[in-house]
Amino acid sequence: MGVLNEKPATKRNSPIDRPLDVDANIAWGSDVAAQVLRRLDIPYIALTPGASYRGLHDSLVNHLGNQSPEMLMCLHEEHAVAIAHGYAKATGKPMAVALHSNVGLLHGSMAIFNAWCDRAPMLILGATGPVDATLRRPWIDWIHTSQDQGALIRNFIKWDDQPGSVAALPESIYRAWQQTATAPHGPVYVCLDAALQEQAIVDAVHIPDPARYRPARASRPAAQTLREAAEVLARAKRPVVLFGRCRRTQEDWDRRVALAERLGAAMLSDLKVGSMVPTDHPLHVDEPFNQLSKPAKAALQEADAILSLGWIDLGGALRQAFGRDHVPATVIHAGDDIHLHNGWGKEHMEMPAIDIHLLGDPDAAVADLLDALPAGSGRAPARAAPAQAPEQPEDSGDRINLRQVATTLAQAVGDQPVTFAALPRAWPVTLWAHRHPLDFLGKDGGGGVGAGPGTTIGAALALEASGRLTVGVLGDGDCLMSINALWTAAHYHVPALFIVANNRSYYNDELHQEGVARTRGRNIANRWIGQRIDNPAPDIAKMAEAQGVTGIGPVRRVDELRAAIRRGVECVRGGNPCLIDVHIDPGHGRHLRESMAERSMAKGS
């Protein structure tokens, strides 16, 4: 007791944020919680402060010395959670978040929902005013104390707890960690009673070694079921593999490709999960998509065996391909998401027809299938991908489109690998093939606008020593909702490049209004009212500058784009964040059909 597990200071620990001295004695309830975080090797804790956890805050600063974990201060709880979400996307690992009583939790809850739908691991520490009413300060402690605070988010987290004594803290946090870090993943929440945090420790509290409380390994599908799947796949003439939520490691990536090649299977990728296989592989069908593309639909319709590897919406994919009709192919699904389905959310999606259910980790299924399928049974690629000629940006014209942004960025970065932490809907994926598991980290999970700045910062933080350039291409609506997340990037020198695809509109919803007006025979020219973010168009570069982030733009002309992007890339390579506000042509690459696809499907048209 009283001895700190010293960890080397991280680069982030700038002298400004380092306390003058530390008290290494474990003397207060919250010191125990802080010690547990350190023993779990948690690098960062993103937070917006609040008095309900002033005890923990003190322990992080004055007991741990703001190291291991190190604070990442945020100007809004939603950003704190989004940063942890982005970190988890890039690493597959949880970091910690601290949220102030009920009000901080309410602010953070939308980002928690995004992380939940994205199955991202994350340890959230919350707090409540003293549970013992006699200890509450008048007024403020009463409004910031809620009965069963976890109930606010219990429908979209994996587990929660409110330990009842200081001695119970280690078990509670270890269990939370084990839950969030064991697949299937999801955020977890531990609420720390303010009175417990501030309790003086009389008897020494035992903090066990975490070694025996580690997360479990991912589960493998049952052997017999695996054999059945292997037999079907070995016989299949036209197999299709849907690459969904899998692991972001090179070995798993290589095994996934090897499996597709051994089967000679058509490969389909989902933009929601990001890069899982090379999208320019000869077996890859068309580009990754959000809603099923035409070629993907055709591949499924022709298939005699469909293997889903953690595909998020298998039921929806089958319905887009077959409507309400019978699915002729044998459907094999590998995944463990079923363990997270509860009665509140519908993010389990439409129930798919499955013939063989490989319950367990999709990548474990891939490894086992490779073992089970006879080597040398590789078939020639059934379908060849069209060659993609790299495009040159057009140097003329006033209206910039995302293709020009993509090609100009590619020229500016040269050989340096890029991680896209966020991409807008009209991003030309064909121009930038996914060739590495970190090339694209996928979407925000829950469709909650405002996630992009935070998730980009979290990913950039995780990848700063990787040699990769982290880029978030954000919608203006997404960026403006969380513009002050950029302060955290500035303060901690997080090297992230934010490119705003600024169409001065909540454009997605403009398209919806057009669709509704069309259906009702009303004037579609009014679709922009209540949707355009214009007159005035917020000066997003200036807003970035106001947070201490280099702001470039607005860039309105193609001939300004090259210099702006080069400057932005150099700034980030120098270790600092930069935002480039690019005014893009709103309509380019975006179609009404894209937004309204689900509705027309529902009507059967």
Q: Please, which residue, 28 or 506, has the CB nearer to ligand TPP?
A: 506
Under the binding rule (CB under 5 A), the answer on residue 503 touching Mg ion is: yes
Identify what 50 binds: Mg ion, ligand TPP, none; CB under 5 to 8 Å per kind. Answer: none
Among 234, 508, 592, 596, binds ligand TPP (CB under 6 A): 508
DSSP string over 491-525: HTT--EEEEEEE-SB-HHHHHHHHHHHHHTT--GG
- Longest Cα separation, the chain: 75
How many angstroms separate the CA atoms of 483 and 504, rounded?
Answer: 15
Under the binding rule (CB under 6 A), the answer on residue 120 touching ligand TPP is: no
CA-to-CA dists, residue 47 to 55, 123, 152, 196, 517, angstroms: 14, 12, 19, 20, 44
Q: How many CA atoms within 13 Å lie on the side-chain side of 330?
A: 17
How many angstroms separate the CA atoms of 233 and 424, rounded?
Answer: 36
Q: Please, which residue, 180 or 505, has the CB nearer to Mg ion?
A: 505
Q: Please, which residue, 129 or 288, has the CB nearer to ligand TPP?
A: 288
Of the candidate spans 42-50, 88-96, 115-123, 506-514, the one that interacts with Mg ion by CB under 5 A turns out to be 506-514
Q: How many CB atoms lie within 10 A of CB 413?
A: 19
| Binding flags for ligand TPP, 230-269, as an x/- string (CB under 6 A) | ----------------------------------------
Q: Report the nearest approach of Mg ion to the CB of residue 158 (Å).
A: 33
Listed residue (385, 393, 66, 58) closest to 198, CA to CA: 58
Write out the binding residues for ligand TPP, residues 405-424 only, by CB under 6 A: 424
Q: Report the nearest approach of Mg ion to the CB of residue 475 (Å).
A: 4
Residue nearest to ligand TPP (CB): 475
Write out the binding residues for Mg ion, residues 38-57 only, by CB under 5 A: none
DSSP string over 323-341: TTS---SEEEEEE-GGGG-
Under the binding rule (CB under 6 A), the answer on residue 507 touching ligand TPP is: yes
Write out the binding residues for ligand TPP, residues 458-497 only, by CB under 6 A: 475-478
Of the candidate spans 264-272, 329-337, 446-454, 561-569, the one that interacts with ligand TPP by CB under 6 A turns out to be 446-454
Tokens matching residue 299: 């591949």
Q: Report the nearest approach of ligand TPP to the CB of residue 510 (Å).
A: 8
Write out the binding residues for Mg ion, residues 420-479 only, by CB under 5 A: 475-477
Contacts of 463 (CB under 8 A, 6+ apart): 90, 419, 438, 470
Amino acid letter at 68?
A: S
Q: Please, which residue, 160 or 313, has the CB nearer to ligand TPP?
A: 313
Tokens matching residue 402: 């995302």
Q: Please, which residue, 291 or 508, has the CB nearer to ligand TPP?
A: 508
Q: Which residue has the tokens 């197999």?
A: 239
Q: Please, which residue, 253 or 427, has the CB nearer to ligand TPP?
A: 427
Q: Report the nearest approach of ligand TPP to the CB of residue 589 (Å).
A: 10
Under the binding rule (CB under 5 A), the answer on residue 507 touching Mg ion is: yes
Q: Please, which residue, 278 or 477, has the CB nearer to ligand TPP?
A: 477
How many angstroms separate the CA atoms of 181 and 250, rounded?
Answer: 20
Of the candidate spans 172-180, 394-402, 442-450, 513-521, the one that interacts with ligand TPP by CB under 6 A turns out to be 442-450
Listed residue (289, 301, 332, 328) closest to 314, CA to CA: 332
Planar angle of CA 405, 547, 500, nearest 5 degrees: 15
Q: Report the nearest approach of ligand TPP to the CB of residue 268 (Å).
A: 24
The answer to whether 555 and 564 have CB atoms below 8 angstroms apart is: yes
Q: How many CB atoms lie within 10 A of CB 421?
A: 33
Q: Report the nearest approach of ligand TPP to the CB of residue 455 (Å).
A: 13
Contacts of 570 (CB under 8 A, 6+ apart): none
Contacts of 428 (CB under 8 A, 6+ apart): 402, 403, 406, 589
Identify what 219 binds: ligand TPP, Mg ion, none; CB under 5 to 8 Å per kind. Answer: none
Query: What backbone phi and psi angles, to 5 degrees, belong to 556?
Result: -115, -20
Q: Please, which residue, 239 or 445, has the CB nearer to ligand TPP?
A: 445
Q: Report the nearest approach of ligand TPP to the CB of residue 423 (Å).
A: 11
Among 379, 425, 435, 532, binds ligand TPP (CB under 6 A): 425
How many angstroms separate the CA atoms of 106 and 440, rounded?
Answer: 30
Among 448, 458, 553, 577, binds ligand TPP (CB under 6 A): 448
The answer to whether 473 and 420 have CB atoms below 8 angstroms apart is: yes
Q: Report the nearest approach of ligand TPP to the CB of residue 481 (Å).
A: 7
Q: Which residue has the tokens 């937070």?
A: 47
Q: Please, which residue, 280 or 509, has the CB nearer to ligand TPP?
A: 509
Number of amino acids touching Mg ion (CB under 5 A) = 6
Contact set with Mg ion (CB under 5 A)? 475-477, 503, 505, 507
Contact set with ligand TPP (CB under 6 A)? 424-425, 447-450, 475-478, 503, 505-509
